[in-house]
Chains A and B, each alone.
Chain A
Amino acid sequence: MNQTASLTEHPERKKLQPYKQNRWKKNFWGYMFLVPALAIFIMFMWVPIFKGLLYSFYHVDFVKGNTFVGFENYARALSDPDVWTAVKNTLYYMSLCLVIGFWVPIAFAIAISELRKFGGVVRVAAYLPFVIPGVVLYGLWRWLYDPVGPINALLGWVGVDQISFLTDTRWSMISLVIMETWQQFGSGMLIYLAAVLSIPRDWYEAAEIDGAGVWARIRYITLPSLRSLIILMLILQIIGTSQGYQSQMALLDGGPNNTTLTYALLMVKYAFTRLDYGTATALGMLMFIVLGGLGIAQFKLSKEDN
């Protein structure tokens, strides 16, 4: 009896144990490799995100402790006239970035792809402003835009009246957008250029034989080939510009007369100037609700692209 029992039990145990061990061993390192990243993503991304949701209902006070205030922060944010000015300014900023900045890299990518010589030099030159640090950009452009700076010197030379680029309320935002376009178009241009150069040359050959002119070739071959990239870049630009605040803050601090006060800048000011972290996180949550949809659209598009 005893013997048979041990005989029936023993092989089973032998079978089970190595299997369990193997499975644990097999996946042990896989999990170990994931653990640090999981911990850090939770600690420095998900915790802040959930704290953001939580604190938007709290009055945050580092000394006395936080108190629950319900929807008070949201009410304060939505009744602040500055918030609506900021939303308007942000929309204005976004549309200026589209009108002034969006088409520039596409146009230059197509033009530069046609250069027979010096293409490399032109590429390097176009990208160079993107390399210089933001603080240098601000210092430099403050001087360029100065009433007695080089741009006004050029305007005077062609016979146009002086423009106070930064202090004139009509020009302040436009000046910032021109500055940012100057700095950033090179990187967009390189992305488009890679796509333009990947279009098979034979298509142009075939189109030309069929009698398509130069513009027709751009209109019916080049641009349609760039279509999905253009849409992706458009969404990326909208996501980026809707959160813009750094150059507005660095050069003008939202002025003159709140004309460059963007939504993100107002949020930052609520937090770090007025030290009202609760309202600032509420503003952040509202931003997240509006922009979350765009993020999903971008993800879907870039997946299709791949």
Chain B
Amino acid sequence: MKSADRGILSEHDLKKTSNKMVYGLMVGVIVIMVFSMLYPILMTMFNGLKSNQEVNSFPPHFFPQEWHFGNLKDAMKYMDLPVFLRNTLYIFAGNMLMTLIVLGMSSFSISRMNVPYKSAFYFFFLMTLFIPATSYMVPNFVNLKELGLLNQYAAFWLPAGANTFYFLLLKNFFDGIHPEIFEAARIDGASEPRSFFSIAVPLSVPIFATLAIFIFSTAWNDWYWPSLVMHSEQKYTLATAIYKYVINVKALNTNIKFAILFIVSLPPILVFLVFQKFIMRGVALSAVKG
């Protein structure tokens, strides 16, 4: 009972003045940290609601003196956000489906089916972990070009099935499901595809949710690779479009710039706040790649 309540410090420690001061200092540093995390994010929001003159005034104000909600409308007028949003969601949905089917089936096969030479196949998948992704980024692009996939969504969807990290997460998850369930299904006459789709998949909702969040944030954040693969403006993802039309553009008013930045950070922030538990667990998982 008592031992559960303590951390490194016990109640007794905190009675000493020197410890109290250190503890107070620590709390102070954490408060400063929280402030410096939240200030820039709130600033993005408030700057997007100020007049352009106020954004550029020195020293900067925190709260807008006048609220200009019209900026959000101007931001929507400046660029066709819904089209870029749709492109991003296309990529997300396709990548998710590919991960679920291709990696789900292969990891299930490795984890729960008796395939001969299983460890050889496993090693084949795992080996790609040793190769730093950036080192084959250029040939990867050349390969897509030679396959004629440039400027097509398939250039994202198909390679989404080649993710060793997600493969491992899925395999570790399937390893944790009791094999007896599948034995029982087999005895009852269920075919292997059936025991995958009607037993393994429904049991794997938590891991698929974690993967969905990873895949969503990749689709939402990635700006450079899509700018190489998609060369027609109509197919840019949200992040690419913003990089091209907002970040490096001098002629755009700063307040409108911030309004756009605010609009695109809002969905991931909301997703994070709603799915905190999944995400925090996902982060802990990402430490044990391998």
Expressed in whole angstroms, the Cα–Cα distance for A135 and B239 within the complex equals 6
Tell me if B191 and A135 are in contact (CB < 8 A). no
- Chain B 19-32 per-residue mask, 1 if CB under 8 angstroms from chain A, else 0: 10011001101100
Expressed in whole angstroms, the Cα–Cα distance for A129 and B272 within the complex equals 11
Does A201 interact with chain B (Cβ within 8 Å)?
yes
Q: Of the 9-residue stretches A9-17, A40-48, A164-172, which lies at the interface with chain B?
A: A40-48
Does B79 interact with chain A (Cβ within 8 Å)?
no
CB distance from B56 to the nearest CB of A (A): 7
| Residues of A247-288 whose CB lies within 8 A of B | 249-250, 264, 267-268, 271-272, 277, 280-281, 284-285, 287-288
Tell me if A292 and B130 are in contact (CB < 8 A). yes
Considering the complex, give the chain B residue whose CB is closest to the CB of A263.
B134
Does A243 interact with chain B (Cβ within 8 Å)?
yes
Tell me if A295 and B192 are in contact (CB < 8 A). no
Q: How many A-B pairs fall under 8 Å by CB?
A: 306
Expressed in whole angstroms, the Cα–Cα distance for A108 and B29 within the complex equals 9
- Chain B 220-231 per-residue mask, 1 if CB under 8 angstroms from chain A, else 0: 110110001000
Does B198 interact with chain A (Cβ within 8 Å)?
no
Does B105 interact with chain A (Cβ within 8 Å)?
yes
Does B141 interact with chain A (Cβ within 8 Å)?
yes
Expressed in whole angstroms, the Cα–Cα distance for A51 and B287 within the complex equals 31
Does B69 interact with chain A (Cβ within 8 Å)?
no
**In-complex Cβ contact of A287 among B59, B132, B161, B191 (8 A):** B132
**In-complex Cβ contact of A245 among B29, B47, B134, B191 (8 A):** B134
**In-complex Cβ contact of A34 among B10, B13, B22, B115 (8 A):** B115
Residues of B near A292 (CB, < 8 A) are: 130-132
Q: Of the 9-residue stretches B70-78, B89-97, B202-210, B240-248, which lies at the interface with chain A?
A: B240-248
Tell me if B37 and A29 are in contact (CB < 8 A). no
Q: A33-B106, A111-B30, A136-B261 are in contact. Are A201 and B6 (CB under 8 A)?
A: yes
CB distance from A20 to the nearest CB of B (A): 14
CB distance from B152 to the nearest CB of A (A): 14
Residues of B near A157 (CB, < 8 A) are: 59
Does A92 interact with chain B (Cβ within 8 Å)?
no
Q: A44-B158, A126-B34, A133-B220 are in contact. Are A114 and B8 (CB under 8 A)?
A: yes
CB distance from A179 to the nearest CB of B (A): 10
Residues of A near B140 (CB, < 8 A) are: 44, 48
Residues of B near A204 (CB, < 8 A) are: 6-8, 10
Q: Of the 9-residue stretches A75-83, A95-103, A138-146, which lies at the interface with chain B?
A: A138-146
Tell me if B47 and A143 are in contact (CB < 8 A). yes
Does B102 interact with chain A (Cβ within 8 Å)?
yes
CB distance from B121 to the nearest CB of A (A): 6
**In-complex Cβ contact of B7 among A36, A60, A113, A272 (8 A):** A113
| Residues of A115-150 whose CB lies within 8 A of B | 115, 121-129, 131-136, 138-144, 148-150
Considering the complex, give the chain B residue whose CB is closest to the CB of A305.
B288
Tell me if A128 and B284 are in contact (CB < 8 A). no
Tell me if B192 and A49 are in contact (CB < 8 A). no
Tell me if B247 and A131 are in contact (CB < 8 A). no
Q: List 22 A-B contacts (CB under 8 A).
A: A29-B109, A34-B115, A45-B162, A49-B136, A110-B8, A131-B265, A132-B268, A133-B223, A133-B268, A135-B221, A136-B44, A138-B243, A139-B242, A139-B246, A150-B39, A153-B60, A202-B3, A243-B132, A245-B134, A272-B228, A281-B138, A305-B288
* Further pairs besides A30-B109, A131-B265, A150-B39: 18, Cβ < 8 Å: A33-B109, A37-B106, A37-B125, A40-B102, A43-B147, A43-B158, A51-B143, A112-B30, A128-B272, A129-B41, A133-B221, A135-B221, A204-B7, A214-B9, A217-B8, A243-B132, A281-B138, A302-B289
